[in-house]
Structure 1
Amino acid sequence: MAKVIVIVGPTASGKSALAIYLAKKLGAEIISADSRQIYRGMDIGTGKVTKTEQKQIKHWLIDIVSPKTNFSAAQFKKLADKKIEDILKLGKLPIIVGGTGFWIKAVIDNVEFPKVKPDWKLRKKLDRKSADALFTMLQNLDLDRAAEIDQFNKVRLIRAIEIA
């Protein structure tokens, strides 16, 4: 992977200010890796940079999805990879900034996502079950995947069952 600066941390910890400072000094552009800032209109409580700040330094992947739309780490990775490539072609340095660790990991570690599309009916049905019940189901379907997963994370358990 080409050189990329990554700034991570919790909401309102100064990540964006640092990214803007570095971008000005280094001639960089910023890619937001925040699972809330990606949504249009979600400005309160997300620490989203202001329009003025966005005009000072080019920011990508902010306000691009309707809040009514589901948006996954796989979708983020695809867009972020393209933006990194585009920024590098301009001779600039990409700065990835955000607090959504899995999204950042997906890009930096080049995580490959299963090609299985989300099954919303199945997810709704499985969401009614406890984490223990979901973990047992996963063990019956895919013992290897069950051995590697957080058995208390219902979202990941449901996705693992969906893939199995």
Structure 2
Amino acid sequence: MSASGGRRIKRSINIDATSIHFLDDDEKQRLLTAQLLKPYLTSRHQEIDEWNKQLDAPESALNHRRMTNIGTFRAYLNEYLRYHPRIRKDMTLMVRQLAPDDHGLPIEIYAFTNTVVWLEYESIQADIFDHIFAVVEEFGLRIHQTPTGSDIRALSGTLRH
């Protein structure tokens, strides 16, 4: 760790799988305003259009490829980390899906900070995850969270009335 000059971030967030969907035109237009996403959305749209034209099949979710909110979210996070001033660009950087389970779909951040100082590292990691939690809804996604006691009490109160 000290020899490399970087400390590894390897942490995931669990996405509620029921919030994953294809992007509609309004969502694509809104996300195009994000500077980090514009190149991805433009090239991905072109790639998918070319694929679908070659397919020559009736348009449907089963026949045609389409952009998803989860794929776009991963692309955004990757670009966010690539441009983050405290993330090493010369070391492994990836945003990947892990196997889904009863806690949702884990999206893992794997990157290295440009410091080995523990307090600085923790601050960088916390800032990155603060940002992730704050922007996830922009993609129409929800973080999976196990219901708490207050969630269950609120639900039981609703059922009684």
TM range (shorter): under 0.3
User: Greater RCO between the two (CA within 8 Å, min separation 6)?
Assistant: 2
